Amino acid sequence: MPESISLNDGFSIPQLGLGVWQVDPSITAKVVGWGIEGGYRLIDTAEGYGNEEGVGEAIRSASVPRSELFVTSKLRNRAHERDAALREFDATMRKLGVEQLDLFLIHWPVPKQDKYVEAWKTLIELRDAGRVRSIGVSNFNRDHLERIIGETGVTPAVNQIELHPRLQQRAARAFHAEHRIQIESWSPLGSGRLLDNPTIDGIARKHGKTIAQTIIRWHLQEGLVVIPKSVNRDRIVANFDVFDFELDADDMQAIASLDAAGGRTGADPATASFMF
């Protein structure tokens, strides 16, 4: 079974979850339902994914009580100003149909817009009002983190960033450890691009596991929270079947050597300024 990880605010988060980025709204309830049946307790969505209603529907029809599920959503980029952020948070809660959110993140810092400090203050307000338990950020670089911590004195519980064997984020991880900010890995399978990697394939075969399972196991052993996405029932179930083997030091070393300049598959947080 997956571990839970303690956050710097005293709450905890399941270490393995289901990501629903790019899951079509029309199938999201079904996909999340498969995930919950398969053992997932953490569901990671965002306003920008357009599928919060489907997540809400799956939560309501699940055989597992709401209290055992951990639901994350994220504030859209064009709603960093306080009024907009409060309004969008209300919309998220309406769509999800939950009383309290487990984790709410600022989706991107959008440095060009320069409103993320105001967004962070609003998340603190929502947390203090009890509407969300834990608050954090996504795609924040060190300078963005230092700024929000410096201006508010509140350290995010989580930073969700692109992280996989081709983009291991070693320098960032030291800073996060110092501040006890839990990293969550998005695109943990390298957006699917690592699934034919010969090094990982060798390790996977040694353990009688698939490449995807081996990569997910690597995230777990690195102490990361990991949210692989799949819309396929068998793959969703298989991605959760990672608690019966362990990568040894040689395996971990071999995967460490895959870190590469230019390994990023998504946008660069320093410059990303898309509005949604």
Q: In terms of CB distance, is 59 or 216 closer to ligand A2P?
A: 216
Stretch that binds ligand A2P, among 4-12, 52-60, 130-138, 183-191 (CB under 6 A): 183-191
Mapped onto helix, strand or coil, the DSSP state of residue 160 is strand
**Using the rule CB under 6 A, which residue among 8, 113, 155, 191 binds ligand A2P?**
191
Q: Does 189 bind ligand A2P (CB under 6 A)?
A: yes
Q: Does 160 bind ligand A2P (CB under 6 A)?
A: no
Residues 6+ apart with CB under 8 A from 107: 46, 47, 48, 74, 75, 76, 77, 138, 139
Could you tell me the smallest distance in angstroms from the CB atom of residue 247 to ligand A2P?
17
Q: In terms of CB distance, is 18 or 98 closer to ligand A2P?
A: 18
Q: Which of residues 4-33 bind ligand A2P (CB under 6 A)?
A: 19
Q: Are 250 and 158 in contact (CB under 8 A)?
A: no
Q: Does residue 49 carry a catalytic annotation?
A: yes
Q: Which of residues 76-135 bind ligand A2P (CB under 6 A)?
A: none
Phi and psi, residue 230, nearest 5°: -155, 150
Q: Which of residues 198-237 bind ligand A2P (CB under 6 A)?
A: 210, 212, 228-232, 235
C-alpha dist (Å) from residue 152 to 34, 62, 83, 116: 40, 38, 19, 12
C-alpha dist (Å) from residue 10 to 13, 80, 92, 133, 160: 10, 26, 24, 10, 18
End-to-end CA distance of the chain: 36
Task: Report the interface residues with ligand A2P, using CB under 6 A.
Answer: 19, 187-192, 195, 210, 212, 228-232, 235, 238-239
Q: Which residues are catalytic?
A: 49
